[in-house]
Amino acid sequence: MKRSISYETIYQYIWEDKRNGGTLWQLLRQSSKKRRKRYNAYDSRGRLTNKKSISERPLSVENKRFFGHWEIDTVFGKGSKHCIVTLVERKSKYLLIGKLPNKSTKELNQRVLKLILQNASRFKTITADNGTEFHQYQAIEELSGVTFYFATPYHSWERGLSENTNGLIRQYLPKNQSMESVTQHQCNYIAKQLNQRPRKCLRYKTPEEVFNEH
């Protein structure tokens, strides 16, 4: 019987190891990231009316059995409001990147809808985190027919593909640099470079090859 281990189990093991003096946490891609303690502060993340939780997402999406299910995220630079939105397809790892002048819901919705419409038949669901930029998700659902699901707040491993993909993007757009001068043309170039990179998890096919097969 083939067994699988969830992201949550792995992270819990790593943090337990750290509490016991272990060093496994230092191997994480974002091991140096400081986490702000919230104590009893009010947390507005995830408090969206009528949102669909990731727990309601079909099992076929979780096990990547079918094509057309995406993860979405925003990636920021330093010193400006400019950023990018990323969409990565779970089965093929195929990546789309859109440039944003800021992370307002208006700018994000316009760019995401454009990316969806350019690949209209290839979107069924999108899984997002609980950032405020996604709070007008229902407008995207109504105009595109794509269903949104939302991860549990602070459970980044539930969108592990987005997290890993963003790490690859940082090779081209370092965290300590502004994104103000980044163009959509550059975003397309970065996506193309990553989509044409063979992946071990795809049996050394490229995301572009797998994407086009569907």
pLDDT band at 30 (very low <50, low <70, confident <90, very high): low
Shortest CA distance to 125 belongs to which of 187, 56, 74, 194?
Answer: 56
Average pLDDT over residues 114-143: 94
Q: Give every CB contact of residue 121 below 8 A, 6+ residues apart in sequence.
A: none
pLDDT band at 102 (very low <50, low <70, confident <90, very high): very high
- 48: pLDDT strictly greater than 90: no
Rounded mean pLDDT of the chain?
A: 87
Average pLDDT over residues 148-156: 92
Token pair of 80, please? Answer: 């400006």
Distance linking the first and last C-alpha atoms of the chain: 29
Predicted TM-score (pTM) of this structure: 0.77
- Domain architecture of the chain: domains with CATH: 51-213 (3.30.420.10)
Q: What is the pLDDT of residue 40?
A: 44
Average pLDDT over residues 103-114: 96
